[in-house]
Structure 1
Amino acid sequence: MNDTPITTKYPILLVHGLFGFDRIGTFDMFHGIVTALENAGCRVHVPVLSSTHDNETRGEQLLEQIDRFMNRTGYLKANLIGHSQGALTARYAAAVRPDRVASVTSVCGPNHGSEVADWVRRALTPGALPERQAARLIRGFSYFLSLLGGTTDLPRDPVRALDALTTNGVEQFNRRYPQGLPDEWGGEGPERVDGVNYYSWSGCLRDTLLDEGQNAFDPLHLALRSYALLFEREAEHNDGLVGRYSSHLGKVIRSDYPLDHMDAINQTAGWVRSDIDPVQLYVDHAGLLFRKGL
């Protein structure tokens, strides 16, 4: 590892996705990542957003927090790194206020939708009892997380969150905010649009549990492997929630790291494969932003 300080021109904001939070007690969502980036020389902030809501609502919340952070610190722009739905949230902020955003990096972002969200939406008849029951359960769970994280004042809407992550929902979102998207499936998008740099990286499940090391004992990993069975279009190439090519945005750093969807934020609490260090991926990416003058 290079010991040269990585002092990016603009601060890095880590944007959480569905059911996300900044910190609950001593447990942080981006496990070990904030500390590693700060130790490398970066200024880092984790905005607190609605744990369940649509991309635009969360995007407006992000813009408000960017403005407050900028007014407090004097910075003119921010580098946004969004995990999962956080990538769509960051894309909205960059599209609406490119003057406030230096770069957007999508980490396992469903930039063309999630096949798992499609399956859940098909299983829930709109307006019928199953949907209402599921919404009630999800709303209660997100409220519980918000209560622990001290963010109960933020709105939550699990049904709108689900719709915003389906292939159809993201397709509509992409028509309004196409910045950084590839022209063809599986390709790369433009690296720079409206003065904002766009990047993406993501992972794929390995073939068998025997390839996973201690990750094979992580309950979240086992759950993601079960979700992977719901994929059709990207059945062989997904992280358990998002397909490899669905994650592509802007300059693709790599989309087949040996990571599941939660490994990408070093969860559960660092239980990841021994041959990959997700924390170092963030530090390396900060180095890229530094070299780009961002």
Structure 2
Amino acid sequence: MATERHSDARVPDWLRGLGLPGLIDLHVHFLPARMERRVWHHFKHGGPLMGDGWRIAYEWPVEARVERLREMGVRAYPALAYAHKPGMAADLNAWTLDFARRTPGCLPSATFYPEPGVVDYVRRALDEGVKIFKVHLQVGGFDPRVPELEGVWGLLAEAGVPVVVHASSVPVPGGYVGAEPIGQVLRAHPGLRVAIAHLGMPEYGPFFELAARYERVALDTTMAFTDFSERGMPFPARLRPALLDLGLSGKVVLGSDFPTIPYPYAHQLDALARLDLGDAWLRAVCWDNGVAMAMV
């Protein structure tokens, strides 16, 4: 995609060139104002879970961010929130559900944390129409294999509702990351629908193996292949054939991490296009696979 250093204004023309009605982005964040300020502070100033941090390209008011997504043609996206301690998740779910109700294009989303009552509030979220969940094993610092979550994984596998799982050691190692903890959950619940955030970078290989092994496991493209990520966590050339095959078989979905990215949104799309895996692959990743995964 030709850009003036990856201008967002060119995205609609790029979509028309591919014959796409828009984008389905399954890794977008909107948060309650107080929490968002704290998260942005960590991104900008760095810390134990962020390394050096980075400049946020879209540190804008909520309305301006929603409008930018609309202008670019992002037709569906969640407001992914995630709990990092007990007592947060139920309130976050109430907020994200309300945000989705009043924001056209926003998918109802929810989160969970290993704590008393977690099965009950996850079941309630499903009853209220949640289409996608998010958990962050690094920030949450919890083991996905704990007994408190056994019932949750079973509920989600039965419902077929996807979970975006941050399970890799990006931006820095910490928590129960790597393919083994979430891989053991999948062994117990092979029907679980999971999107591995960030393509599993930098542990690409083991997470690609999970996607190949389990019918409902996919990888999201969040920050992958961008100049920012390629500098420190380059995608291995040996996995290009698998990336092509997984994308065409429904197992790679578009994610961006908007708004907390250090470059224009369009650069994520440019990074995908320059892989030169073909228009059919781009159409699958940017639209078809997301529609199928989140039942949009």
TM over 0.5: same fold?
A: no
TM value normalised by structure 1: 0.38
Task: Give the number of the structure whose residues are more often helix, by fraction.
Answer: 2
